[in-house]
């Protein structure tokens, strides 16, 4: 309804604009004719004719010329909007509404390129929900989905503006911390780990406390994505092996 009203209003405005343009153009012509000897009364008749002609010719001009152009412009705007929405959906995890593996990987590659170019530090962290399989087995997959959503929200809310987080796969989350060295990066994610451990997760039938384990590593110029992720995975493995609910940082290489 609003769209229809908007289109009607736009059409009326365009027609009025055409009327004014045609009227002024014809008025100039009639004024020129009057300067060549036409009487005042004759000029008044011609002025009336000019206005009438403007009103008659405006609608055909609008519908034959301007309206098709306006519709084509609207189609292009809609196509661009749909393309942007498709791009957004393509990099968004439908469950947690944060970036999916593809989206966070693209974000990481961009951060690596920036760190390489400007020689700024870059730290990444891989987080994994402890004993997540037991949650699904005991309380069901709906409860597991609630946990994933809550953890995603906790991570996203705790990170700074330039940082990124995405669901890397299953119950794993990748955090990208640009302009951040390993030591401050470890402190940031350890605060996040602590906040998750204090959160009360609603599983539908009861509320429980859960923990996450995190592996942290710093990007070294010259590394590729596979090498960097291997260091993060190794640090996460050590955190799991070390008893869970801890942060393990790999050595600066």
pLDDT tens digits for 163-206?
999 999 999 999 999 999 999 999 999 999 999 999 999 998 88
Active site residues: 171
Instruction: Kindly state whether residues 142 and 235 are assigned to the same domain.
Output: yes
> Do 129 and 164 share a domain, yes or no?
yes
CA distances for 135 relative to 88, 167, 244, angstroms? 30, 18, 16
Residues 63 and 151 in one domain: no
Sign, Cα dihedral of 7, 11, 14, 20: negative
Residues 56 and 105 placed together within one structural domain of the fold: no
169 membership: H or E segment, kind and range: strand 164-169
Flag whether 244 is in a domain: yes
Please, which residues bridge with residue 167 across strands?
A: 173
Are 187 and 119 members of one domain?
A: yes
Residue range 224-231: mean pLDDT, rounded: 97
Name the residue with tokens 């760190």: 115
* Token pair recorded at residue 231: 């260091």
Residues 121 and 86 in one domain: no
Could you give phi then psi for residue 212, rounded to 5 degrees? -130, 150
Q: Is the pLDDT of residue 211 over 90?
A: yes
Domain containing 175 equals 101-249
Please write the tens of the pLDDT for every residue from 10-59: 655 655 565 566 556 555 655 655 555 554 455 555 555 555 555 566 56
80: tokens are: 């661009």
Domain of 136, CATH number, reads: 3.30.70.270
Q: Is residue 95 part of a domain?
A: no
Do residues 73 and 114 share a domain? no
């Amino acid at each position: 309804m609003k769209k229809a009203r908007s289109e009607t209003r736009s059409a009326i405005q365009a027609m009025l604009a055409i009327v004014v343009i045609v009227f002024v153009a014809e008025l100039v012509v009639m004024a020129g004719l009057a300067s060549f000897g036409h009487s005042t009364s004759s000029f008044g008749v011609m002025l009336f004719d000019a206005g009438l002609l403007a009103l008659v010719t405006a609608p055909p001009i609008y519908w034959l010329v301007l309206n098709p152009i306006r519709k084509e412009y609207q189609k292009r705007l809609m196509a661009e909007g749909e393309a942007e929405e498709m791009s957004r959906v393509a990099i968004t995890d439908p469950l947690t509404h944060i970036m999916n593996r593809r989206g966070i990987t693209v974000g990481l590659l961009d951060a690596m390129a920036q760190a390489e170019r400007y020689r700024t530090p870059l730290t990444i962290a891989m987080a994994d929900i402890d004993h997540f399989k037991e949650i699904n087995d005991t309380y069901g997959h709906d409860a597991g989905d609630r946990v994933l959503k809550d953890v995603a929200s906790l991570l996203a809310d705790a990170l700074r503006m330039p940082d990124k987080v995405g669901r890397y796969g299953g119950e794993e989350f990748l955090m990208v911390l640009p302009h951040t060295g390993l030591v401050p990066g470890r402190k940031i994610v350890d605060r996040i780990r602590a906040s998750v451990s204090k959160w009360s997760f609603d599983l539908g039938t009861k509320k429980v406390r859960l923990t996450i384990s995190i592996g942290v590593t710093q990007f070294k110029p010259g590394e590729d994505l596979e090498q960097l992720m291997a260091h993060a995975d190794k640090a996460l493995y050590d955190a799991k092996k070390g008893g869970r609910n801890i942060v393990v940082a790999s050595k600066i290489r």
